[in-house]
Structure 1
Amino acid sequence: MSMFSSCMLTLPAGQSQRSTFRRSSKTSQSLGSNWNLNKAHKLYFLVILVLSGDIQSNPGPVVNWKYPCGKCNCPVKTNQAGIMCEVCYAWHHCKCVCIDDSEYHRLQLSDEAWCCSSCFRTALPFHDSSTLNSTISSTSCSTSDSISSSLASSHGRDCTIVYTNCRSVLPKMDILRTHAASFGPDVYALTETWLDDSISDIEIFIPDYTIIRRDRNRHGGGVLLYVRESTPVELVTKHPSLELLLVEAKFTNSPTLLGIYYRPPSAGSANLADLECALESLQPSRLSNSILMGDFNIDLSKNSMQMLSHFHLTQVVSEPTRLTDKGSSLIDHVYISDHSLLQSCSTSPPLGSSDHQCISVVLKWSTRPIKRVKRDVWLYSRADWDSVNAELLSDSTTTHSFTDINSALSQWKNSFLSVLSRHIPRRLVSTRKHIPWLTTEIIRLLRRRDCSHSRAKALNTESSWSKFRSLRNRSVAAVRAAKWAFLKSLGSLIKSPKEFWSTYHALSPTKQRIPHTLTNGTITADSPFSKANLLNTHFTSCLSNTTDVLSSPWDAPVSPSLDSISCSPDQVLSLLSRTKLKTASGPDGISSHMLRKTSSSIHHFFTYLFNK
């Protein structure tokens, strides 16, 4: 008010404020063409502009961009490289999130979901915002801004352990496998599995995980551990009277003791005394690097528990772990021996319809990277087939001088693959087991569920929790519907052997497909060629005496003998051009796709082989 009063002193004497505004409004119509105002009027208008608080040289119209960038807020145009977050659906310039051209084209050709750094803090169930603030700010300009690459980079550094009271694991296996395929922690620890000896490990297996279990019955109790196959694990204690599992996991830094424990609500103090005796029986060196998780059924928000303090174990969970209509409680505990190794501890959405939250613990234990089987993949979409056929036709290598068919075929194969490698790019990829019915839409829905859970915990309102429960039920229904749709489509896999065996190996709990070494008596085979010969020798030896097998009481008609077979080049060309593209290649590495695309150049050689 003092500024406005001081500026009013500059008005001409005898002129009211009302007339000034009337005069200025008239004068403002001709400001663009005639600026005949005295100094007092000029100063008045300048003060009005200053007091408005919004001075721009050329403000222009206010535009609400349809696709503003989540970083710079500028529009993401159609002629610019942009990417959309799969969680918040916000567009970003690739240069703003530091995605180079190679990474941008890779994401275009893949089904991999991308998440921005803002949603990254709430997308992962085993990270909280406090631990990710510094990490994301320092790594926001890396090409691994996607969820899967960030998860892959986490293995080899920190150890991620997810614990929950699942309340019957068998009906929740689809959800658990989907969670493992999406986020992939190093260890799953489950209580109240409700299993017995009638349930085999095949029914509850997760790809790439080792199972250690202690069952009670199908109506309650039981504990279970899933440890990644890349981490060697050894059973230490399976207590006869307690629902307790103690295993030693050999991470890269040092052996670690993992414990999972369940105390029934009806159990008294004797159960805790037995747990104390079981821990005292261990060597002190093992307890120096250990973690003990479980459902103790002791609410730490109302009671205190000092029994494990003399083992130098610290309880790290601070949030309620069981949420019901009657209230919340902290009955799921996580005890660690060295609190300085704790990276983060947070709760995430429960497994299925369980009322116990998942507890995600990240520890500074170096984990072993998963060893993937790597293979060369030919990129046929970028092949120069015209140059391939031209070079094959001009190849001066002759096979007619060979008397041995095997030698001719071996030299031709080497020359053929050499020509292909010069004109067809290849890429080294690693194979991994996957859930066949897991789609990008399901992963997106799971991350929306996790984000909704984080918001519900922060707001703690009925509407936020209702939205979370709705997304949780939708995600469970989507996973089950996708699985049943996949099972209904299994009949079509019979027509495609490649897809059939790929699906079989994805669902099979076996670690390897073919043994590294085959032995038949004193003969040992370790290469694909020697294994095939060993199998052929074995099966032919089973029918060595064909006289007894084929003898019959009647005289079989004698068929005319077939002296020779002659094939024309046109017949061979017709067969090669009709080969099925979805069949797998043999040990020689030559696929049906190669034979079909080069049939016009190689049919003469195969005619020579067939007629030899």
Structure 2
Amino acid sequence: MVCNPSTEPWFCYSCKESFSDCSINNLSVTGGGISCVCLNARSVVPKRFELSAYILANKFDVVAITETFLDNSIHDIHITPPGYTVFRKDRSRHGGGVLLFLRKALNGSLRPDLDDDCEILWVSIPTKSSSLLFGIFYRCPNAPLSTLEALHSSVCSAVSPNQSIVLCGDFNLPDIDWPITSPSIRTPATTMFCDIVSDCFLTQLVSTSTRHDNILDIVLTNVPSNVFSVAVCDNLPGTDHDAVNFVIEVEVNAKNIPPRYLYDYISWAMWKDLFLSAIDESVPKLKWNCRKIKHWFSQDTISLIHKKRKLYKAMKSSGSPNLTAKYRYISNLVRSKTRNETKIKAITLSNCFRTAAKKFWQWVTSIRRYRMSLPPIFNGDTTVTNDRARADVFNKYFYSVFTDEDCSDLSSLRTDSKLSSIVESITFTTQDVYQELLQLNLNKACGPDLLTPQILKRSADFIYFAKAFDSVAHEHLLLKLQLLGIDDEDLVLEELNDM
């Protein structure tokens, strides 16, 4: 499977004014499965730039985050990296909350039927055989037993004989001996959770501590043979939890992104009045590769993120104070550079709003992934979700509140003397149309006739000559065409007659 990132443009300041080709290659996981990471963010909003850089640099397909500290005042566009779809379950700006980032190519969908009275989120990912259920869960340290009861209910609803599930998150249960799935210190919470794992035939795969000497962030699955490369790695700055990286071996039905074609005008010599059919047949086309994610981070920042990841592994293996100090320095440098480059990108786009508005609106379009849609409508005892049915419900309601008015006694409309003059006719000359064609902006989109500005502007002379042929001396037109490089008089007369 190849995970295709979004086609939406993101820009990098290192490209200066051209804003071109600064992108991360899409992640190819052919034969390798879905790359996943589980993070404890301790508030996403202040780390949103570092989070985007971390995800884009490491090319994860699924990003599971606990302790997001979000509420409905934070819109998805402020936290979602390009090329990803976000699924959230918020608590408040002061604690808790879970979310999932999925590559759009995975075509994941939310499973609200598995939701329960706890901080858990399930997403279904289509596969070649059936589907994969991926979940994220967070339990605060002093949560009541009702939280684990809700977790038990949700997991039991998700588990079925032919259903593969993966559940990760911060469970805050350190007193469990995971190799044998037994409480090391027996408490009601640890006993109940071990019973849940056993009853649902789940296997816990994390064997290294994720916070100090405790295993708090774990990965559970009912298909342990399909989850591999489980490793504890570096997390975002400002959190005391380590991240858990793992890969799920599964064949995914990736969403195919159709190729984009652009007209190649280099070899285009002369335009004739053949409209769209002739354009598609005559003008060469180029296949446009739209599978790269454009972003604003420089290659130096991406390299620093990879260097930080290597330093983390070296620091963990050696325990050297020098490496620890160096890792902290690089981590702070990554945070500073990502924030500065994001700030510079915003300033650059705001400065070029008047001179290069197209670049600004391309960026606006790229972050406006959220589209408003009508929620389901309750019509009596039925729920209406179809667009046409909803329109009919609104139509019947608005019609029902209208009243029949007596229009027989309406006073005549007052005629304003200032509006008595009427424009009899508006005349456009051939020369007016010709001048407008010459002033077309080539960077604008085509109109409803689907003729691009390049075609109209380059063909202005031919359009003008075709209309003026009956009113201007033929010798003058032929001389004009010869100046344009067309010397065959018989060919010219034939072409003009065809027009």
Q: TM-score, normalised by structure 2?
A: 0.68
Residue 94 of structure 2 corresponds to which residue in structure 1? 219
Using the alignment, how far apart are the partners of 1:181 and 1:607 within structure 2? 58
The reply to whether residue 347 of structure 1 matches residue 236 of structure 2 is no
* Corresponding residue SS for 2:289: strand
Q: AA paired with 2:289?
A: V
Using the alignment, how far apart are the partners of 2:327 and 2:232 within structure 1? 14
Q: CA deviation at 1:459?
A: 3.4
The reply to whether residue 378 of structure 1 matches residue 263 of structure 2 is yes
Residue 477 of structure 1 corresponds to which residue in structure 2? 336
Using the alignment, how far apart are the partners of 1:161 and 1:454 within structure 2? 18
Match of 1:507 among 367, 389, 400: 367
The reply to whether residue 239 of structure 1 matches residue 113 of structure 2 is no
Q: CA deviation at 1:156?
A: 8.0
Residue 29 of structure 2 corresponds to which residue in structure 1? 154
Change (3 A) 1:583 1:446: farther
Q: CA deviation at 1:413?
A: 4.3
* Corresponding residue SS for 1:285: coil
Change (3 A) 1:428 1:215: closer
Q: Is the 8 A contact 2:57 2:306 kept in 1?
A: no
Using the alignment, how far apart are the partners of 2:206 and 2:38 within structure 1? 11
Using the alignment, how far apart are the partners of 1:181 and 1:170 within structure 2? 17
Q: AA paired with 1:178?
A: A
| Segment of structure 1 superposing worse, 297-306 or 503-512 | 297-306
* Corresponding residue SS for 2:259: strand
Using the alignment, how far apart are the partners of 2:20 and 2:312 within structure 1? 28
Residue 127 of structure 2 corresponds to which residue in structure 1? 251
Residue 167 of structure 1 corresponds to which residue in structure 2? 42
Q: CA deviation at 1:563?
A: 5.6
Residue 487 of structure 1 corresponds to which residue in structure 2? 346
**Equivalences for 1:70-469 in 2 at 5 Å?**
111=21, 148-149=25-26, 151=27, 153-154=28-29, 158-229=33-104, 230-240=107-117, 242-267=118-143, 271-272=147-148, 274-280=150-156, 283-285=159-161, 289-299=164-174, 305-306=181-182, 307=194, 308-322=197-211, 327-380=212-265, 383-385=266-268, 388-389=269-270, 392=271, 411-416=274-279, 418-421=281-284, 426-430=286-290, 434-435=294-295, 437-469=296-328
Using the alignment, how far apart are the partners of 1:261 and 1:556 within structure 2? 69
* Residue ranges of structure 2 left out of the alignment (5+ in a row): 1-18, 183-193, 374-386, 392-410, 473-498
Using the alignment, how far apart are the partners of 2:223 and 2:109 within structure 1? 22
Using the alignment, how far apart are the partners of 1:363 and 1:600 within structure 2? 61
Change (3 A) 1:510 1:246: closer
Using the alignment, how far apart are the partners of 1:267 and 1:213 within structure 2? 20
**Equivalences for 1:555-594 in 2 at 5 Å?**
555-556=418-419, 558=421, 561-562=424-425, 564-568=427-431, 575-586=436-447, 588-594=449-455
Q: CA deviation at 1:333?
A: 0.8
Change (3 A) 1:148 1:606: farther
Change (3 A) 1:235 1:187: farther
Over residues 202-231 of structure 1, what are the superposed CA-to-partner deviations in whole Å (9 max), with x where a residue is unaligned? 444444444333222221112222334423
Using the alignment, how far apart are the partners of 2:31 and 2:350 within structure 1? 37
Using the alignment, how far apart are the partners of 1:343 and 1:316 within structure 2? 9
Change (3 A) 1:454 1:278: same
Q: CA deviation at 1:592?
A: 2.9
| Segment of structure 1 superposing worse, 273-282 or 449-458 | 273-282
Using the alignment, how far apart are the partners of 1:416 and 1:228 within structure 2? 36
Change (3 A) 1:247 1:583: closer
* Corresponding residue SS for 1:493: coil
* Corresponding residue SS for 1:446: helix
Higher relative contact order (CA 8 A, sep 6+): 2
Q: Is the 8 A contact 1:161 1:360 kept in 2?
A: yes
Using the alignment, how far apart are the partners of 1:511 and 1:431 within structure 2? 22
* Corresponding residue SS for 2:168: strand
Using the alignment, how far apart are the partners of 1:281 and 1:368 within structure 2? 24
Using the alignment, how far apart are the partners of 1:340 and 1:551 within structure 2? 84
Q: CA deviation at 1:362?
A: 0.3
Residue 76 of structure 1 corresponds to which residue in structure 2? none
Over residues 246-282 of structure 1, what are the superposed CA-to-partner deviations in whole Å (9 max), with x where a residue is unaligned? 4443333322232222221223666445534543455
Q: AA paired with 1:471?
A: I
Q: Is the 8 A contact 2:430 2:467 kept in 1?
A: no
Over residues 155-192 of structure 1, what are the superposed CA-to-partner deviations in whole Å (9 max), with x where a residue is unaligned? 68612221111111122223333344444433221111
Change (3 A) 1:332 1:572: same
Change (3 A) 1:201 1:112: closer
Q: Is the 8 A contact 2:21 2:294 kept in 1?
A: no
Q: Is the 8 A contact 2:65 2:99 kept in 1?
A: yes
Q: Is the 8 A contact 1:238 1:244 kept in 2?
A: yes
Using the alignment, how far apart are the partners of 1:182 and 1:589 within structure 2? 39
Q: TM-score, normalised by structure 1?
A: 0.57
Q: Is the 8 A contact 2:77 2:367 kept in 1?
A: no
* Corresponding residue SS for 1:154: coil
Q: CA deviation at 1:376?
A: 0.5
Over residues 423-455 of structure 1, what are the superposed CA-to-partner deviations in whole Å (9 max), with x where a residue is unaligned? xx52243367644x3444433333333333333
Q: Is the 8 A contact 1:567 1:607 kept in 2?
A: yes
Q: AA paired with 1:464?
A: L
Change (3 A) 1:413 1:363: closer
Change (3 A) 1:372 1:320: same
Using the alignment, how far apart are the partners of 1:181 and 1:379 within structure 2? 32
Using the alignment, how far apart are the partners of 2:328 and 2:198 within structure 1? 37
Change (3 A) 1:310 1:591: same
Q: AA paired with 1:363?
A: I
Change (3 A) 1:348 1:573: farther
Over residues 104-138 of structure 1, what are the superposed CA-to-partner deviations in whole Å (9 max), with x where a residue is unaligned? xxxxx98467xxxxxxxxxxxxxxxxxxxxxxxxx
Q: CA deviation at 1:605?
A: 4.2
